[in-house]
Chain A
Amino acid sequence: MSPSEEEAILGRLARTRVGIIGLGGLGSNVAWMLVRAGVGALVLADPDAVEAGNLDRQFYFLDQVGLAKTDALAANLLRIRPDVRLELHRVRVTGENVAAIFGGCNAIVEAVDAAETKAAVIATCCDALPDTPLVAASGIAGTGPADRVVTQRLGEAVWLCGDAETPADGHALVAPRVALVAAHQALAVVRVLLGEPEP
């Protein structure tokens, strides 16, 4: 990529704001990728604290166990890029608060855990913010081949990353595959923000 093309992309991404719902294996890794890619601002939401069991795949460190994920992730992201603007919400995202928290975002990442919660978050975002691009994930577990992980367009403003089939209940969450899906999500966000909506 030529320096001018890189500058143009960075310039466009610097003016964008991306929301991330859930800061686990997907959300914490999507966050650092978007920060390194040059996204100007992130809105981060998660009600939980860092646990020792998260460290096998999530972007936290041993000395952060017990901290709110929002605070721990913010500290780590600011070590990469002190100029990134962060808005932190230590809450569970619901139909009541989604528009207030993420209404100003250019794209939203769904990165929650339980299948019921995923369905509810996708539905909630689609209803409250139907024109805001939403990049969701499903099928991140197991040790299946990397090329089964894909990005597909589910709806007018909804993209889905993952193998779509392998659930975390009954399959291991293995760092490289979780990070692979996170990378699909981060790239989908970047492409959508740059006006390339097709996967």
Chain B
Amino acid sequence: MRVELALFASLRRYLPDGGDGHEQTIDLPDGTTVGQVISMLGLPDEPRVVFVNGRHAHDEQPLHDGDRLAVFPPVAGG
């Protein structure tokens, strides 16, 4: 299956293609979960918020062909 991956802010450098943008389409085995993608990408163990198709998602959520997975790392300051 193909999933559109969007990594925001400091996470952009973890995109597999290492390009300048923050989005990339990746191929994954069917049934791969959000948490498995995060682990595969080697994202740092820091606070993050995950959306699948614009809705908040948890690590155990399985992805489907055509999904858009977005990961955003909030930084301190309020």
Show the binding face of A for B, using Cβ within 8 Å: 22, 24-27, 111-116, 118-120, 122-123, 126-127, 130, 136-141, 154-158, 160, 162, 164-169, 173, 178
Most buried by A among B51, B56, B70: B56
Looking at chain A's contact residues, is the secondary structure mostly helix, strand, loop, or mixed?
loop
**Alpha-carbon separation in the docked complex, A85 to B76 (Å):** 30
**Alpha-carbon separation in the docked complex, A191 to B55 (Å):** 21
**Alpha-carbon separation in the docked complex, A178 to B70 (Å):** 26
In angstroms, how far is the closest chain A Cβ from the Cβ of B74? 4
Inter-chain CB contacts under 8 Å: number: 93
Which of B24-32, B33-41, B42-50 interfaces with chain A? B42-50
List of A residues within 8 angstroms of B75 by Cβ: 115, 138-139, 164-168
**Alpha-carbon separation in the docked complex, A119 to B76 (Å):** 10
Other A-B contacts than A158-B56, A162-B77, A165-B10, 5 sampled, CB-CB below 8 A, are A112-B78, A115-B73, A118-B74, A120-B47, A164-B75
